[in-house]
Chains A and B, each alone.
Chain A
Amino acid sequence: MYHDSQIAQLLHDEHLRTIDLMNRLEEATSGRRAKSAPADDDTAAKLLLADLHAELQGTAEHHFSFEEENIFPALMAIGDVGIPTILRQEHALLRNVSETLLPLVERAREGGFTEPDWLEFRDLALDLVERHITHIQKEEMGLLPALSSLFDAEAASELVIRYAEK
Chain B
Amino acid sequence: MTAGTATFLGSASERLLPPGIVFRFFGTAVIFHAVAWAVVAMHGEQLSEYRGGSGPILAALHLVTLGVFTMTAMGASLQLLPVATLQGFAAPGAISALWWLFTAGTICLTVGMYWNSYQAMILGGGAVTLSVVFYLCLLVGNLRQGGAMAVVVAHGRLAAFFLVVLLVLGLALIINQRTGMLADSQRAGISHMLLAAYGFMGLLAMGFSYVLIPMFALAPNPPDRWALLALICICVGLALGVTGTWLGRDAWAAVGGGLGLLGGAVHVALMVLTLRRRMRKRLGPAFTLIRLSWALFLLSLLLGTAWTIDLSGDWGPAMFGLALLGWLLSLLLAILQRIVPFLASMHAAANLKRRPPTVTALTAPGPLAIHLCCHCGALALLALGILLNLPLLVKLGAVLGLAGALAFVWFFYLAMAKFRTALSPLTP
A14-54 near B? 1/0 per residue, CB < 8 Å: 00100110010011000000000000000000000000000
- In the complex, what distance in Å separates the CA atom of A83 from the CA atom of B352? 15
Contacts of A164 in B (CB 8 A): none
Q: In whole angstroms, how far apart are the Cα atoms of A58 and B406 in the complex?
A: 47
B56 interfacial by beta-carbon distance below 8 Å? no
Given A26-B282, A85-B350, A86-B349, check contact A141 B83 (CB 8 Å). Answer: yes
Least distance between A52 CB and chain B CB atoms (Å): 18
Chain B neighbourhood of A20, CB < 8 A: 279
- Would A90 and B349 count as touching, CB distance under 8 A? yes
Q: Is the CB of A130 within 8 A of B358?
A: yes
Chain B residue at minimum C-beta to C-beta distance from A87: B349
Q: Please tell me if the beta carbons of B211 and A141 are within 8 angstroms of each other in the complex.
A: yes
Residue of B nearest to A141 (CB): B215
Q: How many residues of B contact A (CB 8 A)?
A: 35
Is B342 among interface residues, defined by CB-CB distance under 8 A? yes
In the complex with contacts A79-B12, A149-B148, A134-B86 CB distance below 8 A:
no
Give chain A nearest CB distance to B339 CB in angstroms: 11
* Interchain CB contact (< 8 A) of A89 among B149, B342, B349: B349
A133 to B220, CA, bound (A): 15
Of chain A, the residue at the smallest CB distance from B214 is A1
Q: Report whether A80 and B14 are in contact in the complex, using a CB–CB cutoff of 8 Å.
A: yes
**A140 near B: Cβ within 8 Å?**
yes
Q: Which residues of A contact B148 (CB under 8 A)?
A: 145-146, 148-149
The proximity string for A residues 143-164 relative to B, scoring 1 for CB distances below 8 Å and 0 otherwise, is 0011011000000000000000
Cβ contact within 8 Å between B15 and A130: no
Q: Is B358 a contact partner of A127 (Cβ separation < 8 A)?
A: yes
In the assembled complex, the Cα of A10 lies from the Cα of B345 at a distance in Å of 27
Residues of A within 8 A of B211 (CB): 141
Which of A1, A85, A90, A145 meets B84, CB within 8 Å? A145
Q: Quick check: is B346 within 8 A (CB to CB) of the other chain?
A: yes
Asked if B280 is at the interface of the complex by the 8 Å CB criterion, the answer is yes
Interfacial chain A residues near B84, Cβ < 8 Å = 141, 145
Residue A107 CB within 8 A of the other chain: no
Give CA–CA (A145, B345) in the complex, Å. Answer: 22
Residues of A within 8 A of B346 (CB): 86, 138
Please tell me if the beta carbons of B279 and A149 are within 8 angstroms of each other in the complex. no
Question: Are B359 and A146 within 8 A (Cβ)?
Answer: no
Indicate which residue in A23, A81, A149 contacts B14 across the interface (CB closer than 8 Å).
A81
Shortest Cβ gap from A136 to chain B (Å): 7
Query: Contacts A86-B349, A149-B86 given: A137-B16 contact, CB under 8 Å?
Result: no
In the assembled complex, which residues on chain B have CB atoms less than 8 Å from the CB atom of A136?
A: 218
A130 adjacent to B13 (CB under 8 Å) = no
User: Separation in Å of the A156 CB from the closest CB of chain B?
Assistant: 15
Nearest chain A CB to B413 CB, angstrom units: 22
- B11 within 8 Å of A (CB atoms): yes
Question: A116 at interface (Cβ–Cβ under 8 A)?
Answer: no
Given A133-B218, A137-B216, A141-B83, CB of A82 within 8 Å of CB of B345: no
**What are 12 contact pairs spanning A and B, CB under 8 A?**
A16-B279, A20-B279, A23-B280, A26-B281, A26-B282, A78-B13, A141-B84, A141-B215, A142-B15, A142-B83, A145-B84, A146-B148
Q: Which 7 A-B pairs have the closest CB atoms?
A: A79-B13, A82-B16, A89-B349, A142-B83, A130-B358, A19-B279, A80-B13
Interface residues of A (CB under 8 A from B): 1-2, 16, 19-20, 23, 26-27, 78-83, 85-86, 89-90, 93, 96, 127, 130-131, 133-134, 136-138, 140-142, 145-146, 148-149
